[in-house]
Amino acid sequence: SAVISQKPSRDICQRGTSLTIQCQVDSQVTMMFWYRQQPGQSLTLIATANQGSEATYESGFVIDKFPISRPNLTFSTLTVSNMSPEDSSIYLCSVEDWRQLIRGETQYFGPGTRLLVL
Amino acid sequence: KQEVTQIPAALSVPEGENLVLNCSFTDSAIYNLQWFRQDPGKGLTSLLLIQSSQREQTSGRLNASLDKSSGRSTLYIAASQPGDSATYLCAVKRDNQGGKLIFGQGTELSVKP
């Protein structure tokens, strides 16, 4: 299984500012994903972080609001830009590797970043 | 568009009870279905994964079943314990090409000592 860490674990930010969340995996993985969990809601996929190319965004999410980087196979960042109170959520990184898929294993999730925007 | 629904939204039971959590999905063309546990302040922990060709999976006191044709899955927890208190999430995966997980809203379980 993959061990995933996220930084920061939580933050309180002022509206209009931006926050960059880091996701680090202890092994090389094929796929990295960013999810959002708004209060009282379930997880929604924001985008797939592609190594060496632009991220693939889901409907309703745009690069200007959620720029994503993935410089290598173990690290990714998600930036929440020009924040508003509606961005208050838990942001989770998850990973998946073709070797896991072959073994019938699942995606692994990081501990999440709790963001509160005032 | 795939939609995943979980019933009930919240459940409170006394310790020792057997319980069932329900998950339904609208599109039966899934690759697999997973049950996760989410504890406050922590990430998701995978409990059971059922491939589309399978009918059930078991791990300890947990048993998950899958009926793809009817778009339903259940998570059975035997002899519940206070440590089982958490939010349980059901998620379906569309395909094995890096397909995203589509989650239900979860069932918040509280097991009272």
Max Cα-Cα span within chain A = 44
Distances (CA, A) of A62 to A13, A76, A109, B62, B72: 21, 17, 22, 39, 33
What are the tens digits of pLDDT across the range A56-112?
A: 999 999 999 999 999 999 999 999 999 999 999 999 999 988 777 666 667 889 999
Among A11, A29, A36, A43, the strongest candidate for a mutation testing the B interface, having the largest count of B CBs within 10 A, is: A43
Cβ contact B98–A31 (<8 Å): yes
Question: Would you tell me how many other CB atoms lie within 10 Å of the CB of residue B99?
Answer: 18
Q: B20: part of which helix (H) or strand (E)?
A: strand B19-25
Cβ contact A48–B100 (<8 Å): yes
Relative to beta strand A10-13, strand A113-117 is parallel
Does residue B99 carry a pLDDT above 90?
no
Task: Quote the minimal CA–CA distance from B99 to chain A in Å.
Answer: 10
Among B37, B54, B100, the strongest candidate for a mutation testing the A interface, having the largest count of A CBs within 10 A, is: B100
pLDDT (0 to 100) of residue A116? 97
From the list A42, A112, A114, the residue facing B89 with the nearest CB is A42
What are the tens digits of pLDDT across the range B19-77?
A: 999 999 999 989 899 999 999 877 888 899 999 999 999 999 999 999 999 999 999 99
Cis peptide bond upstream of A71, omega within 30: no
Q: What is the CB-side half-sphere exposure of residue B51 using CA atoms within 13 A?
A: 8
